[in-house]
Structure 1
């Protein structure tokens, strides 16, 4: 990962309260170490709280409220999991429109754990291969995706993983995919 330069990349991290903290912090750290600029984008305007499985975690400042966020300002999107986070985002019309903008522009998207719930709402998973937390298998299959039980799956400009244990592989493939963002614009 050290030789991947993302210094020209701006990445949106879409979360709301109750995201799985490590699924946001470790990928964000990997992106920053590769030179990317990251922004926490949220329906909340001040701060969001992570979770460590079933326990409340730390608070993180929101860089840009979803209401003010412009998808065209970003080159890539990170969708962390946790159960409640994507469940809240997938019923938020503004969040779905934000994600759909990345899909329609063919920008790379990294998604982990329960994060694919948000992607399902954009109707982009049909015909795609994705990994996720096992409980999403049926949801993804019902949405037309091929669910894969692997630590990381890259399908076009979509990279996905199952759980926190997969983060090292997820980060490696996310950095690799995001480094090609200018070349990989065919997701829609």
Structure 2
């Protein structure tokens, strides 16, 4: 890739914790990388060199969380689901500060499933409409406008419901980072249902 193309290449952080929902994580990372988004997988409070995900799958991050991470070098941050992710990121001051920094810089902040619980803890304003895994509806609708759509886009905040909506979630991020043409190309490449 030429230096000029690298300069134009979109970049994203995807967080990874022990207990992350692996479908939501791997599908999102895969789709973004197919779209030529430069994805950095950032491990947060991982006990070993790999994260032990919610169904026992082991995934190794590209790097561990560092306070030197800045939204200035990236275009989006993605918070996958899984109770581990919601709990760990919800208690991690550095990660929450970074998520809010992305939001305030008008860059994409994307949450799926239980990950949407982190939005409130990170300080994403309550004016937004969000969605999540149904089990968290009662908690989230106390502070946000709540929708049961598969994916909700409200300004620079993208939220989605769960494993079964992850392709649509990831493709929506690609559309907002890049364009519809890339999304359509990916759908054809992956033989994805045209109704997504």
Same fold (TM over 0.5): yes
Aligned to 1:107: 107
Task: Give per-residue Cα distances to partners, 1:92-120, cap 9 Å, x unaligned.
Answer: 11111111110111101221001111111
1:71, distance to aligned residue in structure 2 (A): 2.3
Total equivalences in the alignment: 173
Runs of at least 5 residues in structure 1 that lack an aligned partner in the other structure = 181-188
Q: Which of the pair is proportionally richer in helix?
A: 2
Equivalent in the alignment of 1:38 = 39
CA distance in 1, matches of 2:105, 2:17: 23
**1:138 alignment counterpart:** 138
Identify if the C-alpha distance between structure 1 residues 114 and 25 changes in structure 2 by more than 3 Å, giving closer, same or farther.
same
After TM superposition, the runs of 4+ consecutive aligned structure 1 residues lying more than 6 A away are none
So what's the TM-score if we normalise by structure 2?
0.80
Give the superposed CA RMSD.
Answer: 2.1
1:20·1:50 contact (CA, 8 Å) conserved in 2? no
Residue of structure 2 equivalent to 1:96 = 96
- TM-score w.r.t. the length of structure 1 is 0.83
Does structure 2 retain, via aligned residues, the 8 Å contact 1:112–1:162? yes
Write the distance in 2 (CA, Å) between the matches of 1:48 and 1:75: 25
Q: Offset at 1:48? A: 3.7
Contact 1:21 1:50 in 2 (8 A): no
User: Could you tell me how far 1:68 is from its partner in structure 2?
Assistant: 3.6
Matches within 5 A, 1:142-181: 142-143=142-143, 145-179=144-178
SS in 2 for 1:17: coil
Contact 2:13 2:76 in 1 (8 A): yes
| Deviation at residue 154 of structure 1 after TM alignment | 1.1
Asked if the contact 2:43–2:62 (Cα under 8 Å) also holds between the matched residues in 1, the reply is: yes
The structure whose residues are more often strand, as a share, is 1
Q: How many angstroms apart in 2 are the aligned matches of 1:131 and 1:124?
A: 14
State the structure with more CA Rg: 2
* Aligned partners of 2:43 and 2:61 also within 8 Å: no
Match of 1:73 in 2: 73
Q: Give me the whole-angstrom Cα distance separating, in 1, the residues matched to 2:102 and 2:69.
A: 12
